[in-house]
């Protein structure tokens, strides 16, 4: 469950106020501060009339920002705020960009409509798109200037995304209709449902987890344990509870399984994931028609999985190189195809489910889904075959390694894992070294950016081959990128068994969170403070007399740095008296690094910084209220430069630049929040 701090509550309220207005944000703030409440309590908390409350609650429920539960003999309804859903409003742009990259501009257009409408029936969605299609067709027929054309054959203006022309602005782009027909809309919805980016809304979707748990407990007790739970029945009761909660959560995925049995959307989805975003009509006819009464909404949990993949690809690109990151992205898409959310719930996820064991992907499967236009030879150093330590590079790890001093201080028990590394059996994949000059992999565990190893020289002329490499050579080059990912200090990939690869997400994300914490320590207190923090994280609690010796620093410098880090919340001190006198001379002062608490502090500071950015933007909005009000007029949108005088247009441009910088900072902070909390 998401821990709501003061700054997170303020951030959620500001976001709702900015998008939906003051009335819904006022009700949402009351529910966050006071907890779940009914209409009489909300009227008392907010001083609003019942009519105003109903309007505000309707808006919040339409956009899935509230839970509600009907109970009691009088069938009274109580409401509860969803802070996670309110925060997800900040990520709308990232989700739309992700959908555009993976599934095409038509899917992005549908997702944008669903964000604007909230959860909606398919019939209402088709009705809205039917009006847009008719309007675009009429504009195309009349040749109206200033409106974007809807191309009947699916062709779009060459060189411009979504059919935009060079003179179209944002408002004209929003009017452009990427959906050509209702059959095309049905096909796009089938693809999004199959990808789980969109899910079906059920009655349980509006109930909080405690309410679901209480209903499941009552049902299990009535059905299986009418005489009560005693003794050996307790374990059976927990299993039944997990199954019931899992079925409730899995109910929105039934439509996906129905589409899978009919093959709807599957073929085109695979093409999109492989880089083919063509919008031909050949797949529109194959998708079964969806029930118009079905209610759909955006599935933010699956969107978080896709955004996590993007974050890991960015980390791989920064650590190794762009080409290796492309290979890594292909592996991640196949690994997370069946993963519905980032984190497993021990109370719900039953044994044998999606999170029970790590999924491994064969080398051939990765190669089959790799972009054929990707030059896998780029980004890897060249070395002679006798300079490559192949057994060291191709070491196997059947299980994930978890260090004894795991990040976070707990959960680092190695006894549950088989840590014996197995030397690579070359017969497992029928490995054949590539033709000389061989591609350098990892040598004795050393790592350099872009795959360079010690003593490896890059020859730019050698990378440009006169003819395309064969499939065998291309596959071996792709394997070198996977081995580079295995050898990196962050351990992006694990080479398990023969010819299979997997990603251990939990240890990997722990290392990424540790990296973010190190960056924060270095920014706040400098490199020497980072050295001290790493020593404490590795060794545990240390005496203030021992720490200078281990850090090779002066005692006064160590004391100053430790006090500075203690002020920022990165380290803390524990006093251990040697006797009952508790005098300073007979007391041990032990410094230690509490990483979970430091991460919580860093996360709350990120919320606080995001609130400040939004507050500053509101100040600039009030200062430029007259210009912004004039610009919002329909006859001015798209032609601001012609409609405004130069001094007012310069003022408007200055505001746009400031807003762009502030929102860019908010998005960067959101990436930090996602790494620390959601991924």
| DSSP for residue 396 | B
What CA–CA distance (Å, rounded) separates 286 from 272? 16
Which residues on neighbouring strands pair with residue 67, listed in sequence order? 80
Express each pLDDT in 419-459 by its tens digit: 344 444 443 454 455 444 333 344 333 344 444 444 444 44
Which pLDDT score, from 0 to 100, does residue 334 have? Answer: 92
User: Does domain 6-89 sit in CATH 3.30.2270.10?
Assistant: no
Which pLDDT score, from 0 to 100, does residue 271 have? Answer: 53
Position 331 pLDDT exceeds 80:
yes
10: Cα separation from own chain's centroid: 22
Contact 123, 129 (CB under 8 A): no
Contact 132, 179 (CB under 8 A): yes
What separation, in Å, do the N-terminal and C-terminal C-alpha atoms of the chain show?
14
Position 554 pLDDT exceeds 80:
yes
Contact 519, 527 (CB under 8 A): no
| Burial group, residue 108, by CB count within 10 angstroms (0-12, 13-18, 19+) | buried
**Dihedral angle at the C-alpha atoms of 127, 128, 133, 135, nearest 10 degrees?**
110
Among 140-149, 300-309, 322-331, name the one with the lowest average pLDDT. Answer: 140-149
Domain ranges of the chain: 6-89, 104-156+173-298, 305-503, 511-593, 598-678
What CA–CA distance (Å, rounded) separates 676 from 672? 6
The enclosing H or E element of 576 equals: strand 572-577
Residues 6+ apart with CB under 8 A from 56: 23, 24, 26, 27, 48
CA angle 8, 537, 540 (to 5 degrees): 120
Q: Work out whether strand 587-592 and strand 120-121 pair parallel, antiparallel, or are unpaired.
A: unpaired
Which pLDDT score, from 0 to 100, does residue 398 have? Answer: 61
C-alpha separations of 640 from 166, 374, 626 in Å: 17, 42, 14
Structural tokens at position 334: 């196949």
Q: What mean pLDDT do residues 282-295 have? A: 78
Which residues on neighbouring strands pair with residue 500, listed in sequence order? 362, 496
Query: Of 635, 627, 626, 630, which is closest to residue 653 (Cα–Cα)?
Result: 627
Express each pLDDT in 606-655 by its tens digit: 999 999 999 999 999 999 999 999 998 888 888 888 888 899 999 999 99
DSSP string, 164-222: --TT--HHHHHH-----SHHHHHHHHHHHHHTTSEEE--GGGGS-HHHHHHHHHHHHHH
- pLDDT band of 263, cuts 50, 70, 90: low
Which pLDDT score, from 0 to 100, does residue 379 have? Answer: 74
Which pLDDT score, from 0 to 100, does residue 269 have? Answer: 54
If phi over 0 gives left and psi between -120 and 50 gives alpha, with beta otherwise, what is residue 17?
Answer: alpha
Report pTM: 0.81
Query: Of 549, 550, 544, which is closest to residue 571 (Cα–Cα)?
Result: 544
Structural tokens at position 187: 């096909």
Which pLDDT score, from 0 to 100, does residue 451 have? Answer: 42
Q: How many CB atoms neighbour CB 51 within 10 A?
A: 8
Query: Of 265, 302, 251, 236, which is closest to residue 99 (Cα–Cα)?
Result: 302
Query: Of 147, 178, 143, which is closest to residue 163 (Cα–Cα)?
Result: 178
| Sheet with strand 120-121: strands edge to edge | 120-121, 295-298, 198-200
Express each pLDDT in 20-76 by its tens digit: 999 999 999 999 999 899 999 999 999 999 999 999 999 999 999 999 998 877 888
Looking at the chain, the whole-number percentage of residues with pLDDT higher than 70 is 77
Under CATH, what is the fold of the domain 511-593? Answer: Arc Repressor Mutant, subunit A (1.10.10)
Q: What mean pLDDT do residues 574-579 have? A: 83
Position 227 pLDDT exceeds 90:
no
Express each pLDDT in 75-129 by its tens digit: 889 999 999 999 999 999 999 999 999 999 999 999 999 999 999 999 999 999 9
- pLDDT band of 674, cuts 50, 70, 90: very high
Average pLDDT, the chain: 81
C-alpha separations of 293 from 202, 255, 315, 377, 538 in Å: 12, 13, 43, 51, 57
Which pLDDT score, from 0 to 100, does residue 273 have? Answer: 53
Which pLDDT score, from 0 to 100, does residue 496 have? Answer: 84
- pLDDT band of 192, cuts 50, 70, 90: very high
Q: Work out whether strand 361-362 and strand 500-502 pair parallel, antiparallel, or are unpaired.
A: antiparallel
Contact 360, 497 (CB under 8 A): yes
| DSSP for residue 7 | H
What CA–CA distance (Å, rounded) separates 129 from 141? 18
- Residue ranges in 342-437 assigned as alpha helix (H): 363-369, 390-393
């Amino acid at each position: 469950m998401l821990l709501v701090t003061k700054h997170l509550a303020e951030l959620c309220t500001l976001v709702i106020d900015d998008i939906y207005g003051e009335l819904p944000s006022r009700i949402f703030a009351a529910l966050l501060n006071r907890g779940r409440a009914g209409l009489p309590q909300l009227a008392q908390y907010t001083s609003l009339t019942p009519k105003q409350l109903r309007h505000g609650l309707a808006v919040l429920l339409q956009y899935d920002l509230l839970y509600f539960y009907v109970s009691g003999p009088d069938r009274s309804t109580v409401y509860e705020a969803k802070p996670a859903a309110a925060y997800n409003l900040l990520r709308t742009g990232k989700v739309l960009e992700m959908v555009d990259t993976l599934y095409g501009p038509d899917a992005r257009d549908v997702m944008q409509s669903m964000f604007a409408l909230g959860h909606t029936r398919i019939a209402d969605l088709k009705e809205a798109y039917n009006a847009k299609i008719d309007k675009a067709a009429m504009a195309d027929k009349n040749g109206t200037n200033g409106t974007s054309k809807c191309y009947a054959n699916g062709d779009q203006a060459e060189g411009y995304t979504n059919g935009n022309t060079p003179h179209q602005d944002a408002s004209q782009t929003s009017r452009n209709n990427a959906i050509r027909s209702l059959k095309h809309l049905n096909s796009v919805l089938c693809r999004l449902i199959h990808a789980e980016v969109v899910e079906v809304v059920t009655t349980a979707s509006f109930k909080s987890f405690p309410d679901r748990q209480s209903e499941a407990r009552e049902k299990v007790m009535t059905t299986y344990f009418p005489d009560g739970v005693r003794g050996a029945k307790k374990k059976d009761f927990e299993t039944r509870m997990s199954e019931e909660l899992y079925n409730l959560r899995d109910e929105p995925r039934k439509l996906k399984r129905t589409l899978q049995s009919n093959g709807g959307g599957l073929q085109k989805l695979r093409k999109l994931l492989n880089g083919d975003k063509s919008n031909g009509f050949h797949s529109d006819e194959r998708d079964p028609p969806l029930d118009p009464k079905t209610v759909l909404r955006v599935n933010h949990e699956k969107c978080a999985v896709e955004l996590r993949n993007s974050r890991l690809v960015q980390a791989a690109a920064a650590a190794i190189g762009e080409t290796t990151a492309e290979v890594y992205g292909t592996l991640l898409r196949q690994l997370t195809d069946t993963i519905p959310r980032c984190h497993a719930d021990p109370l719900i996820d039953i044994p044998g489910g999606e999170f029970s064991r790590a999924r491994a992907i064969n080398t051939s499967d990765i190669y089959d889904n790799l972009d054929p236009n990707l030059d896998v030879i780029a980004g890897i150093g060249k070395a002679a075959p006798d300079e490559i330590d192949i057994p060291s590079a191709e070491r196997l790890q059947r299980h994930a390694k978890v260090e004894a001093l795991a990040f976070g201080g707990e959960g680092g028990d190695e006894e549950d894992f088989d840590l014996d590394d197995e030397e690579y059996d070359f017969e497992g994949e029928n490995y054949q070294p590539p033709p000389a000059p061989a591609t350098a992999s990892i040598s004795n565990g050393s790592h350099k950016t872009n795959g360079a190893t010690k003593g490896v020289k890059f020859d730019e002329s050698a990378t440009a081959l006169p003819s395309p490499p064969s499939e065998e050579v291309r596959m071996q080059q792709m394997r070198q990128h996977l081995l580079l990912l295995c050898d990196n200090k962050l351990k992006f990939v694990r080479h398990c068994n023969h010819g299979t690869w997997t990603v251990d997400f939990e240890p990997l994300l722990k290392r990424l969170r540790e990296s973010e914490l190190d960056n924060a320590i270095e920014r706040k207190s400098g490199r020497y403070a980072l050295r001290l923090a790493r020593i404490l994280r590795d060794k545990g609690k240390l005496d203030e007399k021992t720490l200078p010796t281990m850090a090779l620093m002066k005692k006064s410098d160590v004391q100053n740095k430790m006090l500075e880090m203690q002020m920022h919340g990165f380290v803390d001190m524990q006093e251990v008296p040697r006797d009952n006198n508790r005098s300073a001379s007979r007391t041990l002062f032990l410094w230690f690094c509490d990483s979970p608490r430091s991460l919580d502090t860093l996360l709350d500071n990120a919320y606080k910084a995001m609130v400040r950015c939004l507050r500053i933007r509101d100040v600039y909005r009030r200062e430029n209220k007259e210009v912004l009000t004039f610009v919002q007029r329909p006859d001015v949108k798209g032609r601001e430069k012609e409609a405004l005088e130069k001094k007012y247009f310069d003022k408007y441009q200055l505001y746009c630049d400031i807003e762009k910088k502030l929102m860019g900072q908010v998005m960067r902070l959101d990436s930090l929040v996602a790494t620390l909390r959601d991924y």
